[in-house]
Amino acid sequence: MEKDFLDIISQYKSVIQSWKKRGDVQDGRDTGWKPSKDDVLLPKHKATNIGYALSTTGYCVSASQSLLNDLAFQELLRIRFAKAKLISIDIKEQFYGFCKDAYGNISSQNKWHTAILVEDSGLTFVIDVTCGQFGNNFFNKDFWDFATWQETLRSPRCKHLLTDFNDNEINYAPKITDFKTYNKNYLYSEIFNNLHSQTNLTNNDRNIITDFLVNQLTTFNNKILSHTLTTIDYSYLKEVNQVLGTLKYNNYQKTYSVLEFGSKDSAKNWLNGFMDNQCKIDMYLLTFGSIENACKILDIDLNELNSKKQTGKFYVIFEFNNQFGIDLSEFFKYAQLIIPFNTGLEVTNVLNGIVKPEYEDLKKSGLEENELNQKVMEISENLKETDKLNTSWVIINNI
C-alpha cells in the first residue's frame, strides 16, 4: 500500500513542480486573493512571489485553487480517473495566524485552512501546498494521508463538514455526540440523585461525576481523539479519575459498547491506530448490558448495524467478556462500566464485516484458537463486498 501511494504521488509531484515554475505563479498573479473568480486582482491582494504565497497566512484558498485549476493537474486527474476538490477545516489554536496583504499589512486573524482532497486508485490523500505557513516542520510537506493531516491541523471544534466524492462524511475519529435519548437537565438530576446511594461521596464529588458524564464527556473525548488536551485539561481529568476511582467496581460477564464512524475507511484507520497503540483506548468508553441499550443511549440506529445496505456509516462493536471496572449501573440507567482513556484492552479477535452468529457457530465447532482465527480470516476474505455488514466486531476476553 505504501509503495502504491509513493508511486501515485510521484506523478503529482512532477505536476506541482511544473505549476510552481509557471510565470503567473512565480510572480503571484495566479495565487493572489480575489473575492470571486470574475473579480480583478487588486495590487494589495497579489502575492509578492511564490514563496510569499505558499508561506503566508491568507493565501491557502487562492494558491490551492490555482493548482487545482492548472491544466496539467486537471489532465493528470483525467488520465488517472482521479478526482480532486478543495476542502476547508477550522484549525487548532496553535496554528492561528494573521492574514497579510502584499505590503505586509495585517488584515484579520485566520482560524481556518484550505487544501486539496484527492481520490486516486482507491486512496484518499491531501495536497497542501501552503502548510509551510505553520512552521519549519511543514516546509515543502505537500502530501499528507488524510488521517494525519486532519489529526495534525483540525480543531476538535471544527464546524466544517468534510465529505468524500460520494458526499459521505469523512472523519477518521469516531463520531462522539451528546446523549440525545435524555433531556440533559433530567439526566443530570437523575444521576446526581441516584449517586446518593454511594455514601462515601460528598456532594462536590457527586457534582464532579455528574457534570463529567452529562456535560464534559463528549468535549473531552473529542479533545483526546484530536490530541488537544491542555495542562489544565489533564489536571481536570486527574481529578475526575480520582473521584471515579472511589466508586464501586464490578465484573460483568458480557458488556458492550458501539462506536459510529463516517465511513468504512475511517473505522479501518482508527482500528489500525488502536491496534498499533497496543489496544489502548483513546477515549472514555461507556459499556452497556446489550447492543440495543448502547445504541439507545448513544443515538445509533440499531438496524444499521446489521444492514448490508451501504449507508455511508460504519460501526465498531466492542464485546467485553469478563470485564472488571468502575460500575455506573446503580446511578446511570442502562450503563454498566466506564473505561478510562488510555486503558489497555485484551483484544483477542477483530471481525471485519463477518456475521457475528457465524463466528459463534465456528467457536462451538471445537476449533483450536489458531484454526478459528484462520477460518475467520478466510471467511472475511471470501465474502463479497456487498455481502459484508457495516460493522467490525472487536472481542475482548479477560481471564
Among 96, 130, 153, the domain boundary falls at 153
d(CA 297, CA 315): 15
d(CA 336, CA 343): 17
* 325 bridge partner residues: 250
Q: Mark whether 303 and 366 lie in a shared domain.
A: yes
Local confidence band at 385 (pLDDT 50, 70, 90 cut-offs)? very low
**CATH number of the domain where residue 245 is located:** 3.90.176
Region of poorest pLDDT, from 22-36, 37-51, 206-220, 292-306: 37-51
Mean pLDDT of 177-198: 83
Q: Mark whether 120 and 228 lie in a shared domain.
A: no
Q: Mark whether 306 and 232 lie in a shared domain.
A: yes
Q: Mark whether 144 and 210 lie in a shared domain.
A: no
Q: Mark whether 148 and 190 lie in a shared domain.
A: no
- Cα–Cα nearest to 87, from 127, 138, 32: 127
Highest mean pLDDT range out of 24-28, 158-162, 336-340? 336-340
Match 489533564 to its residue by C-alpha cell: 234
d(CA 349, CA 279): 12
**What are the tens digits of pLDDT across the range 230-260?**
889 999 999 999 999 999 999 999 999 999 8
Q: Mark whether 138 and 95 lie in a shared domain.
A: yes
Residue 99: CB atoms within 10 A of its CB come to 16
Task: Tally the residues of the chain.
Answer: 399
Q: Is the pLDDT of residue 7 over 70?
A: yes
Q: Mark whether 148 and 191 lie in a shared domain.
A: no
In a domain, 223, yes or no: yes
Match 443511549 to its residue by C-alpha cell: 297
In a domain, 174, yes or no: no
Q: Mark whether 128 and 242 lie in a shared domain.
A: no
CB 61 within 8 A of CB 113: no
Among 114, 137, 153, the domain boundary falls at 153
In a domain, 172, yes or no: no
In a domain, 158, yes or no: no
In a domain, 209, yes or no: yes
For the entire predicted model, the pTM comes to 0.63
Total domain count for the chain? 2
Range of the domain at 71: 2-153
In a domain, 199, yes or no: yes
Q: Are strands 112-120 and 143-145 parallel, antiparallel or unpaired?
A: unpaired
In a domain, 259, yes or no: yes
Q: Is the pLDDT of residue 224 over 70?
A: yes
Mean pLDDT of 39-60: 69
Q: Mark whether 199 and 130 lie in a shared domain.
A: no
Q: Mark whether 362 and 289 lie in a shared domain.
A: yes
- Which DSSP symbol is given to 307? -
In a domain, 188, yes or no: yes
**What are the tens digits of pLDDT across the range 303-337?**
887 666 656 678 888 999 999 999 999 999 889 99
Q: Mark whether 131 and 272 lie in a shared domain.
A: no
Q: Mark whether 146 and 196 lie in a shared domain.
A: no
d(CA 74, CA 219): 40
